[in-house]
Structure 1
Amino acid sequence: MNEYKFLQGPIHNVRQVLEANPDSNPMLFTEMLELASLHDELGNHWRQISRWIRYEQTVEGDGTRFSKPHITLLSMVSLIQLKNCLRKGVIILDARLNSFADVADTMCAAWVERGFLNDETAFAVKEVLNSSKLHLIDGRMRRADERRRDDKVDLRQDANDRKDKDREDLEVSIL
């Protein structure tokens, strides 16, 4: 009888769903960014310090390489802190957003609505959340949209892309 209750529990239900749809479980890429403020042209920016693709990798060597993949261990204090954040914080699960800026706007609006922030502080928080993000790419920290010096730029392709974009914008404005 106890075995039957165990088989009908939530873990069993999740396992059944996952096993029924093995192709619908894409790998998840997660990264941890740290807010840094340098007194140069970058100003406030987010710097990648870790990433997870099944295993954790941390940025090492003055931001020039990732460590060997290793299993992440959580402390009990971290789990209690997560529990408190989930209990007291704002959770938005059903939002259909298209950009990180939309996520920042939605989060700040929810915080203002619940009284965690005032309007002035919410504006400052949005600015910080929307600061540029630096990722470890080819042995150095760079913005994700930054081209490397050795990247070949096909001006004809860029011109064709601009023409296609202009054509799409024109079609949208006509509709």
Structure 2
Amino acid sequence: MTLKRRSTDIEPPEFSTVHRPRVLVEEQDGAIRSSYVNLLRDAGFEAVGCGGPEDQEGARCSLAIGQARCPLVKGQGCDAAERADVIFFSFRLADERNRNILKALKRLNPKTPIVVELPKPQSFRYQDVLRGVHLAYAPVTGHSLTKAILDAWEAPDPILESLRK
């Protein structure tokens, strides 16, 4: 026995085939972070910003505890990083704590591509921490930032992609 569809039957919903990449912007300076987030949103991404351990008394972190407000400082996972499709990391790598945060992001989110902004001459200085990430050389422009995010998002594997270069 076959049931006939009535004209009043509702078709099941279909998801859009277009997925807007979710980008977590890691930048300590609030004004710069806000401009990156707005730029990425204007380019069609879903973007949120985080200022790291010193950001607004940990308001963005559900695991915020005491001075080390960023859970990554304590080696714990970051909710926003776990939901992101791409992480844009703009913290200064001269600070050892920031290098440790980047290492924690890589360790805890191995399948999430990470784009790191830094001046080109520093790429040799921090080779150990930059292995497996995508680079966006400072100063970034709107075009270079969106291109780096898209390239990272579309790359088959962040480690393999970095080895091809």
TM-score (norm 2): 0.22
Q: Could you say which structure has the larger radius of gyration?
A: 1
